[in-house]
Amino acid sequence: MSKEDVGITVSKNADFSEWYTQVVLKAKLADYAPVKGLIVLRPDGYSIWESLRSTFDKKFAKNGIRNGFLPILIPESLLGKEQKHFAGFNPEVFWVTHSGTNEIGDRLALRPTSETLAYTMYAKWIQSWRDLPLKINFWNTALRAEIKATKPFLRTSEFLWQEGHTVHTTQEEAEKEVMKILEIYKNTVEEELAIPVTTGKKSEKEKFVGAVYTTTMESIMPDGKALQMGTSHFLGQNFSKPFEVKFADKDNVEHFAWQTSWGVSWRLIGAMIMAHGDDKGLVLPPNVAPTQVVIVPIYKNEEGKEKVLSKVDEIKKQLETKEIRVHVDDRSGLSPGYKFNDWELKGVPLRIEIGPKDIEKQSIVIAKRHNREKSTLSFNEIEKIFTILQEIQKEMLEKAKEQAKENTIEISNYDEFKSKIERGGFFNAPWCGKLECEEKIKEETGADIRVIPFGSENEDLKCMYCKEQSLSKPVFARGY
């Protein structure tokens, strides 16, 4: 087995798309399933998802949200109850038409999203104001047929996600919830995945079908394309009316409830790969890395091996008392160089090298994955590794913020926009708020409104397209 067999063979700059796919497959995060459009998650990939899930669960719980479970099949009659919503999803829905050889009368959809199902249940469960707020999150998968080429984590016909659905007595409370969730999303993505996001609203054209409005967080990827990282929707009474989600108030008067729904998917893993990876492979932020530290023992003979391995064991235990996730690579028959490359490909944040010479010097060599810096630590400084991992986490976010800043361009002139859109980026440009301009811009440049950042409603500016008074300064970009 040569290095070329396992390493990444294209550079991130030269062929971003191919680089991405190679990293996913070769770092063993995921693989293609036998059915087109589907992927299989491998333990390292799933572990990252579990880490995110556990962080979200803690934050949701603090906010009074509990987890539930919904079945995957939704009857067509239910899915069609909110017409706009149904029309929006219809082309992507997988249908179950038979059970065995018997045709099913009311076709069953494989859940593209669960609003209709959840709210049918909610209507049953909610009677009075005492039952509210009702806040349930569901960890499951959603299925939406992808006609375009599959990209692991970014575009697949089935994806892991969470969908939260809350019900409130007042509009104000529901809208607060929408913002609270967006805030949880933002700080989790920034703190855990070290990716900066821009938050704001979607345009009318881009909002979730059936929502009054959609708030979103968007990130700019190193190839200049935007990625939607998560959305939180204010549904108003758009669903509570057709689904009769009603409550009796203190005077026993019935009202339609106010609702929200929100979700993030394993797309976040795709974003993490793109944001931090390099020509050597994956680069994992320590907070979500399945293995945070890998120790590679180096020895030439049996006597040396024993000495090194006993010290390695000691260091491993020291790190584990600090709850650091550590792995010892004692595979025989592989050179240290091979192992270094292998762990770099897998993105482990910190590597420790230790051989007979290091033991003589009472020190270890540490190599950071994100900037590939090497240094030494003496045996009595092992505890510092905990802090070093935290520093790596911070440095990765800082670097990603700088990249995002470099890729963000203020623009007011449409010709300039057209000349620059090809090389990608987030373009902050004034817009009149009219669908017509939004559509023309999309048609002529392939860029859409990714997000209208909070507070971007502005001063005296002119729409980049029609030159009329602008209403806001959205982020225009080509997206994934």
Q: Which residues of the chain form contacts with Zn ion (CB under 5 A)?
A: 432, 437, 463, 465-466
Q: Tell the residue number behind the tokens 């669908």, with chain if given.
A: 435
CB of 462 to Zn ion, least distance (A): 8
Q: Which is nearer to Zn ion, 23 or 441 (CB)?
A: 441
The bridge status of strand 134-143 relative to strand 448-453 is unpaired
Q: Which is nearer to Zn ion, 350 or 463 (CB)?
A: 463
Q: Which is nearer to Zn ion, 143 or 432 (CB)?
A: 432
DSSP tag of 44: H
Q: Is the peptide bond before 71 cis (omega within 30 degrees of 0)?
A: no
Q: Is 472 helix (H, G, I), strand (E, B) or coil?
A: strand
Q: Residue 259 forms beta bridges with which residues?
A: 167, 236
CB of 430 to Zn ion, least distance (A): 9
Burial degree of 470 (CB within 10 A; 0-12, 13-18, 19+): buried
Q: Which is nearer to Zn ion, 391 or 410 (CB)?
A: 410
48's CB contacts (< 8 A; 6+ apart) are: 29, 269, 272, 284, 288, 289, 290
User: What is the rounded CA–CA span in Å between residue 238 and residue 234?
Assistant: 9
CB of 472 to Zn ion, least distance (A): 11
The bridge status of strand 158-168 relative to strand 134-143 is antiparallel
245 close to 127: Cβ distance less than 8 angstroms: no
Q: Which is nearer to Zn ion, 360 or 459 (CB)?
A: 459
CB of 442 to Zn ion, least distance (A): 13
Residue 290 phi/psi, 5-degree rounding, is: -55, -40
CB of 463 to Zn ion, least distance (A): 3
Q: How many CA atoms lie within 13 A of 117 on its CB side?
A: 21
Six token digits for residue 126:
């909610």
CB of 202 to Zn ion, least distance (A): 18
Nearest to 269 by CA among 41, 33, 36: 41
Q: Which is nearer to Zn ion, 226 or 437 (CB)?
A: 437
Q: How many CB atoms lie within 10 A of CB 155?
A: 17
Q: Which is nearer to Zn ion, 44 or 438 (CB)?
A: 438
Q: Which is nearer to Zn ion, 169 or 456 (CB)?
A: 456
Six token digits for residue 176:
């607060």
Q: Tell the residue number behind the tokens 């397209």, with chain if given.
A: 465
- Integer angstrom CA distances of residue 48 from 29, 143, 181, 290, 328: 9, 21, 21, 7, 20
Q: Which is nearer to Zn ion, 142 or 437 (CB)?
A: 437
Q: Amino acid identity of 451?
A: V
CB of 409 to Zn ion, least distance (A): 19
149's CB contacts (< 8 A; 6+ apart) are: 155
Six token digits for residue 32:
């293609």
277 close to 347: Cβ distance less than 8 angstroms: yes
Q: Which is nearer to Zn ion, 31 or 436 (CB)?
A: 436
CB of 471 to Zn ion, least distance (A): 9
Six token digits for residue 200:
């704001």
Q: How many CB atoms lie within 10 A of CB 441?
A: 23
CB of 224 to Zn ion, least distance (A): 24
CB of 441 to Zn ion, least distance (A): 9
Q: Which is nearer to Zn ion, 48 or 463 (CB)?
A: 463
CB of 465 to Zn ion, least distance (A): 4
